[in-house]
Structures are given as C-alpha cells and as structure tokens.
Amino acid sequence: MKRRLDCLKARCKVSWLLQLPEKLVHCLFSSLVEQLIGKCANCPVFPGSYSASLSPGKMFLVGLTGGIASGKSSVIQVFQQLGCAVIDVDVIARHVVQPGYPAHRRIVEVFGTEVLLENGDIDRKVLGDLIFNQPDRRQLLNSITHPEIRKEMMKETFKYFLRGYRYVILDIPLLFETKKLLKYMKHTVVVYCDRDTQLARLMKRNNLNREDAEARINAQLPLKDKARMANHVLDNSGEWSLTRRQVILLHAKLERSMEYLPLRLGFLTGLAGIASLLYLLTRYLLPSS
C-alpha cells in the first residue's frame, strides 16, 4: 500500500492532496474519530475544534456504573449475552500503562524506576502509595494516563460504530465521582442495591467483618446519590431474575432508539465518497501494469 501511495504521489497531477503534513493528516483523522464522542482535545493544528458535546444525532454512548457488591459485573454479563458492545475502562487503564506504551514511558520518567516490577510492568501498589494523599502527584499521573485512555476508548468505540452497533456501553466505576466522561454519555445507568443488601453481599463475598465492609462502602460515593444522578436505575436489591428483566427491558428501550442513525448514514456516505475518489485516482492516474 505504501509503494502504491508513493507512486501515486510521484505521478499524480493533484499530488498536493497527498503532501499534507503527517501531523495534519493524523489530526484530521483523530478529529473525525473524536467527533463521535465529543471534543477534540489539544488539537495541534485546529485548537478547540470539534467542541460540540454529544446530543441527539451524535454517537450514542451509555455510561454504566455501580458500587462495590452492587452487582454491576453481573449486569454487564447480561448486556454482553444480549449482544451489546461493552468497553471496560478499567481494562483500558491497565492496558495503556503496559511496557512499550507512551504512558508507561512517561510514568517511569516522572516517578522513577522504583515503580517498576522485575518484568518491567508498573507496580500499581508502589505507584498508588506514591500518590496517596498527594493531589499534585495524582493529578500528574492522571495527566499522563487519561489522554491515552481516551484514545483507546475512541478506537474501541469507532470499531463498534463501523460494525453497526446501536449503542456502546462504557463500564466506568468512577463515572459520577470524576465526572470526566459524563459529558460524552447520552444515557447513564446505575446498578443499585440498598445499603443493607450491599453490606451483606460484601461481607459474604469477601469474607469481611461488618466494620471492614462498612469502611469499604463508606469510601465510595453512596449508591443512592449515584441513583439520583443517573438517567436509568437498575435495582438489584431483590431476586436476580427481577434484575435480569430490568436489564432486558432497558436494552430493548435503547435498541429502539434511532438517535445516531443519521450520523452513521452520513459517515458511511462520506466514506463511500472517499473510497470512490481513491479508486478513480488509482484507476486513471496510475499507469497500468
């Protein structure tokens, strides 16, 4: 493909189309992808461009969260069984700090090699101890990892978009605590259960005494507060069959939404136009072999 492009660049009379700076080409493509989930942040060529947040007609994202022992993982499994696209932000966060990735290199530069395990992976416990009760260091770490997390989220979202999914669920544990991604969500969902149920489940699941279990629950934003901020609440306080039914009904409601169909049709039309142009350039401007 590279040889073909080089040949086209050398022979094509409209070669200016192919002489755009690499940074500009990358930025234009990134902006196209980022338009699916919101603002193009820190654009080096068009600062502040594509700043529109999500609204009807834009990409359809659903932010899902819960609390410790609320049953969020089980709910996610039901959505996946129903064929939904799910992106786990925690998994992405672990992925972007692996050796060889930019965030890994920057973390080592900033915090030193003492945050590394013998195999080169980031020692999450040591790094956590370094930023514990130190807001400046925590903010510095976030400034390194969050842009990389957003990039990976965009890539995954774009893949699902092209595959024709109606909506994409983002599993975000701290959705309401950080509020960083709220502006990108068309819908927000909380997996809720009452405090007594949450406490009993946590004690049983983790084999904790009441004091330790309460301490872990108190360290999080209360589920009742999250429920007040969410568009949809899945109450997992009772029988699992009732919760599963709630998930199925919510999925059906979201599937009926046509909110971002115009965007997909417009994008695919534009993609077809670009493909046609490239075909014509290749067909008529390159010498036949």
pLDDT in tens, 67-117: 999 999 999 999 999 999 999 999 999 999 999 999 999 999 999 999 999
Q: Give the residue-averaged pLDDT of 229-255.
A: 96
For residue 235, what are the CA distances in angstroms to 85, 129, 152, 226, 228?
Answer: 22, 35, 31, 12, 13
Confidence of residue 18 (pLDDT cuts 50, 70, 90): very low
Classify residue 260 by burial, with Cβ atoms within 10 Å: 0-12, 13-18, 19+. buried
Lowest model confidence (mean pLDDT) among 7-11, 149-153, 230-234, 267-271: 7-11
Rounded distance between C-alpha atoms, residue 22 and residue 28, angstroms? 10
Residue 123 has pLDDT above 70, yes or no: yes
pTM of the model: 0.67
Lowest model confidence (mean pLDDT) among 1-5, 155-159, 238-242: 1-5
pLDDT at 256: 84
Hey, what are 204's tokens? 């049983």
Residue 122 has pLDDT above 50, yes or no: yes
Q: Give the residue-averaged pLDDT of 226-248.
A: 97
Q: Give the residue-averaged pLDDT of 159-172.
A: 90
Residue 285 has pLDDT above 80, yes or no: no
Q: 82-110 burial, b if ≥16 CB within 10 A, otherwise e?
A: eebbbbbbeebbeebbeeeeebbebbbee
8 A C-beta contact, residue 236 and residue 75: yes
Confidence of residue 210 (pLDDT cuts 50, 70, 90): very high
For residue 98, what are the CA distances in angstroms to 93, 94, 95, 155, 159?
Answer: 9, 7, 6, 17, 22
